[in-house]
Amino acid sequence: MESLDWHSGLAALEWQVELGADECISDAPINRYDVPAEAPKLAAKGVKHAAPVITPKLDVVAEAQKAAQAASNLDELKAAMAGFEHCDLKKGAQNLVFSDGIVGAPLMVVGEAPGREEDIAGKPFIGAAGAMLDRMLGAIDVSRTKDVYITNVIPWRPPSNRDPKSLEIAMMQPFLMRHIALAAPKVLIAMGNISCQALLDRKGVTRLRGTWAEAAGLPLMPMFHPAYLLRNPAVKREAWADLLDVRARLKGNGP
């Protein structure tokens, strides 16, 4: 039998629970009507039992905040993210996807989470969506090789490219905010709903796009994700209008 990876094994277990399985089945049958050879001994009167040890629940978001704030540069931040053991997505991913582009660039693009190709390469926005992003940026004379810095909210690929869960976004948010502070851009683009949720605490990019917001003390433009534009070419006109606003803001002519 082919061995399961961590995420596939968890999904199989959750499927069994949904079907109603609530206990494990042993290899040999158990006679539950059997009377034990000896009756269980009662505790002697007056004997005090030790109180059960209760382990306090770990605040993973606070742990992420602590690790992120301890990083004084991007290399330290990347190492802190690589060493963060509280996000289960890490267990099923091949690589940490940290960033691409130019550190200190005036424009920073924040995507959602790596896909299969990004997970293999360890870089954000490659493949078809990455090519679309490059064309979009090129249309306003911006390139990831000279004047844009790119990252994602989530650095590890979710299984089957599912949307990140709320807790996963919350525990990665401190790293993202520290990432923005250390990269020090002048303008932010939030690509897609997950990015808007992490940076603005709001979803619904269709409603949010086209209007400037603020995150980390910087102007932010919510935009459709390039993958969405590939599936819905009719909304490219709106994306182009947003890009023109970004270009104007980069040149100091925006609101």
127 domain-assigned: yes
pLDDT value, residue 190: 98
109 domain-assigned: yes
| Cα–Cα distance measured from residue 88 to residue 83, given in angstroms and rounded to the nearest whole number | 12
206 domain-assigned: yes
119 domain-assigned: yes
- For residue 69, give the CATH number of its domain: 3.40.470.10
Is the confidence at residue 175, as pLDDT, over 70?
Answer: yes
142 domain-assigned: yes
**pLDDT tens figures, 215-234:** 999 999 999 999 999 999 99
The tally of domains found in the chain comes to 1
**pLDDT tens figures, 129-153:** 999 999 999 999 999 999 999 999 9
239 domain-assigned: yes
28 domain-assigned: no
DSSP state of 224: -
Alpha carbon separation from 199 to 121, 153, 162, 188, 208 (Å, rounded): 25, 9, 20, 10, 12
Residue 34's identity, in one-letter code, is D
| Cα–Cα distance measured from residue 247 to residue 139, given in angstroms and rounded to the nearest whole number | 10
pLDDT value, residue 57: 78
**pLDDT tens figures, 91-136:** 999 999 999 999 999 999 999 999 999 999 999 999 999 999 999 9
Residue 252 buriedness (CB in 10 A; 0-12 / 13-18 / 19+):
exposed
Alpha carbon separation from 148 to 79, 145, 239 (Å, rounded): 22, 7, 18
Full-model pTM: 0.79
Range of the domain at 224: 60-250
| Cα–Cα distance measured from residue 247 to residue 96, given in angstroms and rounded to the nearest whole number | 30
35 domain-assigned: no
